[in-house]
Amino acid sequence: MILSRAIRRIISLTISLALLWLIAGCSTPRPVKAEDRIFLDLSLEFLGKYELPETKFANTPVGGLSAITYDRQTNLFYVLSDDRSRLAPARFYTLDLDIGQTDTGEIGINNVSIENVTFLTDEQGNTYPVGSIDPEGIAISPRKTLFISSEGDTSQDIDPFIGEFDLKTGQKKLNIPVPRRYLPAVDEDEDEPQGIRNNLAFEALTINPSGLAELDPFRLFTATESALIQDDLSEAQTEARIRLMHYVINPIGIGNPILVAEHLYLLDPASIETISNGLTELLALKEEGYFLSLERNFGFTGAGAKIFQVIVGNATDTANISSLKENITQVQPLKKKLILDLKELGIYLDNLEGMTFGPRLPDGSRSLILVSDNNFNEEQLTQFLLFRLLI
The mean of the pLDDT values for the chain is 89
- Give the residue, 17 or 138, on which the prediction is more confident: 138
Distance (Å, whole) CA 340 – CA 344: 8
- Give the residue, 103 or 227, on which the prediction is more confident: 227
Global pTM reads: 0.88
pLDDT tens digit sequence for 302-358: 899 999 999 999 999 999 999 999 889 999 999 999 999 999 999 999 999 999 999
Residue 33: phi and psi, rounded to 5, are -65, 150
3-class secondary-structure state, position 194 = coil
Distance (Å, whole) CA 353 – CA 373: 6
pLDDT tens digit sequence for 120-148: 999 999 999 999 999 999 999 999 999 99
CATH dotted code for 44-390: 2.115.10
119 bridge partner residues? 91
Give me the pLDDT at residue 43, please: 97
Give Cβ neighbours of residue 176 (< 8 Å, ≥ 6 apart): 147, 161, 162, 163, 164, 220, 247, 249, 257
Give me the pLDDT at residue 299, please: 86
pLDDT tens digit sequence for 131-190: 999 999 999 999 999 999 999 999 999 999 999 999 999 999 999 999 999 998 776 565
Give me the pLDDT at residue 28, please: 43
Distance (Å, whole) CA 158 – CA 216: 33
**271-277 long-range contacts, CB within 8 A, separation 24+:** 271/297, 271/299, 271/301, 273/299, 273/300, 273/301, 274/298, 274/299, 275/299, 275/300, 277/226, 277/240
Least confident of 25-29, 205-209, 283-287: 25-29
Categorize the per-residue pLDDT at 3 as very low, low, confident or very high, splitting at 50, 70 and 90.
Answer: very low
CA-CA distances (angstroms) from residue 375 to 139, 245, 292?
21, 27, 24
Least confident of 171-180, 194-203, 271-280: 271-280
**Residue spans per domain, the chain:** 44-390
State the average pLDDT over residues 100-106. Answer: 80
DSSP assignment string, 247-308: EEEPPTTT---EEEEEEEEEPPPPPTTEEEEEEEEEEE-SSTTEEEEEEEEEETTEEEEEEE
